[in-house]
Chains A and B, each alone.
Chain A
Amino acid sequence: MPEAFRHESRKKSMTNKEKYINCFTQALEVPAEGVEKLEYQGVESWDSVGHMSLVAALEDAFGIQMDTDDIVDLSSFEKGIAIMKKYGVEI
């Protein structure tokens, strides 16, 4: 199986929780360990630019369009789970 195809099919088989964590690790370039404790500006990469990268990653991963109010409210990993629920995404 070609590598690119294997990668895509693995993405499809991921749980929502795995996808959610993936968004943080990739957008903010942080390891998965400790990701659940992350808060806005708690690490250097989660600044305003990182925040918009994270929002883009979440929107792409779950096929949603976040409202500005929710983008502002996305202040932590935990808070994000509640926000995702508003868009019908159970983490």
Chain B
Amino acid sequence: MGLDLLRGKVAVVTGAHRGIGLAILERFVQCGADVRVVNRRADPAFSERCRALEQEHGVRISECFADFEDEAQVKDAARALCAMKPAPDILVNNVGIAGSTMMFTMTKMEAVRRSFEVNLFSAIALTQALSRQMMRQKRGSIIFLSSSAAFDGGAGIDYSASKAAVIGAARRMAVELGKFGIRVNALAPGLTRTDMGAVTSQADQAQAASRAVLGRIAEPSEIADAAAFLASDLSRFVTGQVLRVDGGILR
């Protein structure tokens, strides 16, 4: 898909090393965006992949790093991103972890806090910093990655609760940032074929597929396509929304 939907735009994507984040990076550069990724750690193979994507699509990809469990590191990354010119047009708060698969009565609060730190608090901190740059430009699109688990409780307490909280945060930010021309939306993917999704048992994957009216789980590229829509001007009158990309979980 080389639609040039995002040509001339600058995007920041967190957790782009693999899975949905990598798919979003690939789709955005295919659509012409320069992308600044924030990953947990450096990986030569990933950097090599970025150089290949740059050559293939005539864009620039830069990398910075943060342990998303560490507020100070997230703030440092935010400062580094704010120092880069031009300011970003798009922010995708993608990074996430799913900590516990135990019953909530057997889940340590430490695990719940850890998921909230990565899935919600790091995204809020990064958005606080980068949205200020978008305010000056009077434009921007911010995308949060929620989950179908926010609606149906289909994962551990830490994941389901933090992904539900992401929706509240996105909606509040949409209210506050609309006057600056900044749109804020969330994506809620169903079970997706990623490393994170692979921890789900085969039986649970089959059950998830059977609940979707399309009868299968998602591919990362399908979530990335929805992200490209929300990032682009095609969705210029869409804000404060949660776009479910779950193959139609209707019951």
Contact = CB atoms under 8 A, between A and B. Distances in A.
A48 B132 CA distance: 12
Interface residues of B, number: 12
Interface string A48-91: 11001001100000000101100000000000000000000000
Contact of A49 (B79, B83, B136, B179): B179
Contacts of A67: 75
Contacts of B179: 49
A55 B75 CA distance: 18
Interface residues of A, number: 8
Interface of A: 48-49, 52, 55-56, 65, 67-68
A56 B75 contact: no
B82 A56 contact: no
B128 interface: yes
A55 B133 CA distance: 11
7 contacts: A49-B179, A52-B132, A52-B135, A65-B79, A65-B82, A65-B83, A67-B75
Interface of B: 75, 79, 82-83, 125, 128-129, 132, 135-136, 176, 179
B79 A68 contact: no
Contacts of B82: 65
A67 B79 CA distance: 9
B128 A68 contact: yes
A56 B136 contact: yes
A67 B132 CA distance: 11
Nearest to A69: B75
A2 B128 CA distance: 39
Nearest to B79: A65
Contacts of A52: 132, 135
Nearest to B136: A56
Contacts of B135: 52, 56
Contacts of A55: 132
Contacts of B128: 68
Nearest to A48: B176
B211 to A, nearest CB: 41
A57 to B, nearest CB: 10
Contacts of B79: 65
A56 B83 CA distance: 14
A47 to B, nearest CB: 11
Nearest to A52: B135
Contacts of A48: 176
Given A52-B132, A65-B83, 13 more contacts: A48-B176, A49-B179, A52-B135, A55-B132, A56-B132, A56-B135, A56-B136, A65-B79, A65-B82, A67-B75, A68-B125, A68-B128, A68-B129
